[in-house]
Structure 1
Amino acid sequence: MKLLSNLIPFFMQKFLSFLGLLFVVTVSFSQSIESKIDQLIVKEFNNTDEPGGVFLVAVEGESIYRKAFGKANLALAVEMTPEQVFQIGSMTKQFTAIAILMLEEQGKLSVEDPISKFLPDYPNGDAITINQLLTHSSGIKDFTRLKRIAEIAEKEMTPEEMVAFFKDEPVDFSPGDAFQYNNSGYVLLGYLIELISGETYADFIEKNIFDAIGMEHSYYASDRKVILNRAYGYHQKSYGFVNKKPISFSIPFSSGALMSTVDDMLKWQNALDQNLLLKPENLAKAFTKKQLRTGEAIEYGYGWHLKDWGETAVREHGGSIFGFKAMGVYIPGKAIYVIGLSNCDCHSPTQLVRDIAKVVDELVGE
């Protein structure tokens, strides 16, 4: 017993020394990642008196880096904080795609359904499938490329009116023949969500996604609603910064009208990883590269670009809307998530987020 009592302090000392060493290694590793990420970001976001951005990096669902840069409001000289709410532009498409898959899981539609099943009068609707809307392969004219878009930019439009705005335009190609990024397809998807669910798109997303997974600071965008911690958007001109151009959010609608924070976007990514919104076999459809009618593969699933960095599979999507830019990258093999949100379209986080993801991928190791 005496020997045992003598050994206990010895092993406790060794154990505590091990914990101390582990702590030092962990802190050193964290500081190494933080330093490398800081060096990347300050190359673009290097002026504290300009609009800025917020960046978050997570590994295995836990944040390892979360910082804000620049100003959230120039007129009031408000410093940016990680809690700021941004417009996320086309990252909205992720939510629209998952909403469609939720309706499919409920048996209310099939992604192979022609849109004529729900919109009988849509031109060539028998030949256009929901799958083609999701994968930007419908051939429908993208309304953002129409010169007359300026006529309605600030007008409040119903989803039906938005669809009517572009539906009679000549198609760019036959359905399923090519991939061409297309906002019109995702506006149509939002309209289908409303027709099939009997709810507005905003209500459907709020109830079935935001509320369901605790995204408490995410919204269907509004310039009139008072939103706590809203970041204000800017453009840069030769003579300085100006407030973002006004837009009615009924125009981008389900293709680009959501707002969120980096913390809520991490909740979104974690919910997908944990299959909280869809069964695994149904969620997998979003992350499977699709094919054109010719059999040619495209690097897009449902709401995400699906790319390969060498042997590393990557899911990514950006967003751009007046005064704001956004980018998110996820490396499923190592559960690395990087999100960057900017409140000036002069500061794009797109390549920066990719570069950060590559640095973290290297440092995390196998």
Structure 2
Amino acid sequence: MKRITLLITLIVCTTQVGFSQSIDKVKLDSYFKALEDDNRFMGSVAVSQDGKLVYTKAVGFSDVETKTKATENTKYKIGSISKTFTAVLVFKAIEENRLGLTETIGKYFPSIQHADKITISQLLGHRSGIFNYTNNPENMKLKSKKHTEKELLDVIAKGGSDFEPDSKVSYSNSNYILLTFILQKVYNKSISVLLKEKITTPLVLKSTYFSKPIDVTDNESNSYNFNGSWIKDSETDMSVALGAGAIVSKPTDLLKFADALFNGKLISMKSLELMKTIRDGYGIGLFPIPFYDKKGYGHTGGIDKFTSVFGYFPEGKVAYALTSNGSSYNNNAISIALLSSVYNKPYDVPVFYAAEDLGKYLGVYSSTSFPLKITITKNEKTLVGQASGQSAIALEATEKDKFRFEPANLVLEFLPLESKMILKQGAGVFTLSKE
């Protein structure tokens, strides 16, 4: 249940952005064909304006093994976008006088450190200080194992507290696991039933529900990592993710959900304003999504190799959503392309460089100034990098002797004649030599 950072602030300025009279669907189709042809992205996207669907596209396979092509009806796990749904359910409980924002959680979870100080509001806004249990590698080894409420609560309680409640903000899946348990207690119903009764049935979201073991015969997709070819990933059990990241959906359902939420059809406008109130970069179940002079709100998600994002821009009532079951590309770049098409801003259809003679790059690279060794191998026509103790990643050739892994903002530049490699990530630049 990862929060994937969305950086549409790449181009923040005061320039006014107008709506496109009509989206250039041909250009967007070319954009996604380029990603699909080079195995950069498998998934589905959708865009709406004023509640009307204006673009949708699905590329890649929902199931690589059977070569089942993705369609507009393919369903994907949406990871942490589930938190937005959970936050809506909490506000519904508040509006029904079942919960209070300033209510503390001591009566529900006396084993949690500072439970007598932590409020519902602090759980919602990631200000509780409760340790994020998914940050512990030992916990995530158990992700495919079914957990009871007691087992998961014990794991969270054991993690303790990272800071005094409300003293700062820190993203924690533990917060929304606890909110799930609270909702189930106050309603005496499962979170899956609450989602159905209070959100998906009223909005007729037939493809949105809490996940179960993946069933590809029911238009559900497996998730994949690209390492020269698409490799199926393992599956997280729903009991580990719950309201923090266990929902399945598709882009067109997410657009309907966004339109309903931001137009007062799910919770009151007063509750919505609280969700939209940004404090230290966080709202409640929402994050800011700026694009030029436009101010949007949404959430990102990631679980196993599924990634997702949805956003809503109140001005013009523009909504967009992306769900993916495999990506070696930067989803933020795809978000920018979709929004650029809506707002009539320039963007490029990607062109991918085909590297030749990968053998000259292979080897183990190290440096006294860099803590890890980098092993470079190849898988057919794809260069693969692996830092000591980390997973292997497929590298994209961008030009002669240069490769990148865009999701981590990583660039590798090789100097074959000198048997060296320059690694760039963020502000860091390191020169490594081949052993």
TM category, shorter: 0.7 to 0.9
Looking at structure 1, the residues matched to 31 and 86 of structure 2 have their Cα atoms a distance apart, in angstroms, of 32
Output the amino acid matched with 2:36. F
Give the percent of matched residue pairs that are identical in Structure 1 and Structure 2.
24
SS at match of 1:63: strand
- Number of matched residues? 326
Which blocks of at least 5 consecutive residues in structure 2 are unaligned? 1-19, 346-435
Question: How far 1:339 moved relative to its partner?
Answer: 0.7
The structure whose residues are more often strand, as a share, is 2
Alignment match, 1:204:
194
Looking at structure 2, the residues matched to 245 and 268 of structure 1 have their Cα atoms a distance apart, in angstroms, of 28
Output the amino acid matched with 1:281. K
1:173-192 counterparts in 2 under 5 A?
A: 173-192=163-182
Work out whether residues 190 and 254 of structure 1, in 8 Å CA contact, stay in contact via their aligned partners in 2.
yes
1:107-186 counterparts in 2 under 5 A?
A: 107-186=97-176
Looking at structure 2, the residues matched to 71 and 151 of structure 1 have their Cα atoms a distance apart, in angstroms, of 27
Question: How far 1:225 moved relative to its partner?
Answer: 5.4
Among candidates 234, 243, 247, match of residue 258 of structure 1: 247
Looking at structure 2, the residues matched to 263 and 245 of structure 1 have their Cα atoms a distance apart, in angstroms, of 26
Alignment match, 2:432:
none
Looking at structure 1, the residues matched to 184 and 178 of structure 2 have their Cα atoms a distance apart, in angstroms, of 10
Among candidates 61, 70, 75, match of residue 60 of structure 2: 70
Looking at structure 2, the residues matched to 205 and 347 of structure 1 have their Cα atoms a distance apart, in angstroms, of 32
Among candidates 338, 342, 346, match of residue 320 of structure 2: 338
The yes-or-no answer on 1:60 pairing with 2:60 is: no
Output the amino acid matched with 1:33. D
Alignment match, 2:37:
46
Work out whether residues 88 and 258 of structure 1, in 8 Å CA contact, stay in contact via their aligned partners in 2.
yes
Question: How far 1:237 moved relative to its partner?
Answer: 2.4
SS at match of 1:190: helix
Output the amino acid matched with 2:272. L
The yes-or-no answer on 1:237 pairing with 2:227 is: yes
Q: Label 1:134 to 1:100 Cα distance change in 2 as closer, same or farther (>3 A).
A: same
Work out whether residues 52 and 343 of structure 1, in 8 Å CA contact, stay in contact via their aligned partners in 2.
yes
TM-score with structure 1 length normalisation?
Answer: 0.83
Q: Label 1:181 to 1:150 Cα distance change in 2 as closer, same or farther (>3 A).
A: closer
Output the amino acid matched with 2:99. L
Looking at structure 2, the residues matched to 227 and 126 of structure 1 have their Cα atoms a distance apart, in angstroms, of 47
The structure whose residues are more often helix, as a share, is 1
Name the Cα RMSD after superposition: 2.1
The yes-or-no answer on 1:33 pairing with 2:15 is: no
Output the amino acid matched with 2:244. S
1:95-106 counterparts in 2 under 5 A?
A: 95-106=85-96
Looking at structure 2, the residues matched to 65 and 308 of structure 1 have their Cα atoms a distance apart, in angstroms, of 21
Looking at structure 2, the residues matched to 322 and 345 of structure 1 have their Cα atoms a distance apart, in angstroms, of 12
Q: Label 1:168 to 1:113 Cα distance change in 2 as closer, same or farther (>3 A).
A: same
Q: Label 1:224 to 1:73 Cα distance change in 2 as closer, same or farther (>3 A).
A: closer
